[in-house]
């Protein structure tokens, strides 16, 4: 395990508030999981768990990083959709912060290339939550990191779907 990653977890709690999506998540966990996952119906905006060492928020997004594989997804990209998703992401990110213990990590991820869903979202969060700071991973190759130290995969550069993630350490 790289030095900047936490030790393996005893239990992974996977939360999804939409029952249909939770069923699909459960199927994926049974197929690809380790058996240590616990699936719960819950809302990241109002966590019902005790504070955890690591919380991953895989936020709903426009999915602009997947357009090469899903060209029809372009149809749902509108200024209103972007505004609404950014508002939802901010709400979820603020809520998920409560589930991170002091010293723990909050990882915010999207499959979007839009700054409003990524860099701007993290900047807004850090301004509103001074108890968190950005903590770039040393386990990610430098060519996959933004200037701020966030994971930034670009289809045209990396030959993958586009993706973004930021590691946010809770200091207090």
Active site residue 61: no
Q: Which helix (H) or strand (E) holds 101?
A: strand 100-110
Per-residue burial over 109-136, b if 16 or more Cβ lie within 10 Å, else e, is: bbbbbbebbbbebbebbeeebeebeebb
Catalytic residue selected from 111, 122, 152, 163: 111
Burial of 78 (C-beta count, 10 Å sphere; 0-12/13-18/19+): exposed
Cα separation, 164 vs 90, whole angstroms: 15
Q: List the catalytic residues.
A: 111
């Amino acid at each position: 395990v790289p030095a900047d990653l936490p030790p393996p977890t005893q239990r992974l709690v996977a939360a999804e508030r939409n029952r249909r999506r939770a069923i699909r998540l459960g199927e994926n966990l049974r197929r690809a999981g380790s058996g240590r996952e616990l699936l719960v119906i819950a809302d990241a905006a109002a966590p019902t768990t005790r504070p955890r060492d690591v919380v991953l928020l895989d936020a709903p997004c426009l999915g602009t990083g997947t357009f090469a594989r899903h060209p029809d997804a372009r149809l749902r990209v509108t200024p209103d959709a972007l505004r609404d998703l950014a508002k939802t992401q901010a709400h979820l990110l603020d809520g998920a912060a409560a589930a991170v213990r002091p010293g723990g990590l909050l990882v915010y991820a999207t499959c979007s290339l839009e700054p409003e869903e990524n860099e701007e979202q993290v900047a807004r969060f850090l301004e509103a939550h001074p108890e968190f700071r950005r903590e770039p991973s040393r386990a990610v190759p430098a060519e996959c990191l933004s200037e701020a130290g966030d994971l930034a995969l670009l289809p045209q550069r990396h030959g993958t779907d586009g993706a973004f993630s930021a590691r946010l350490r809770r200091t207090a």
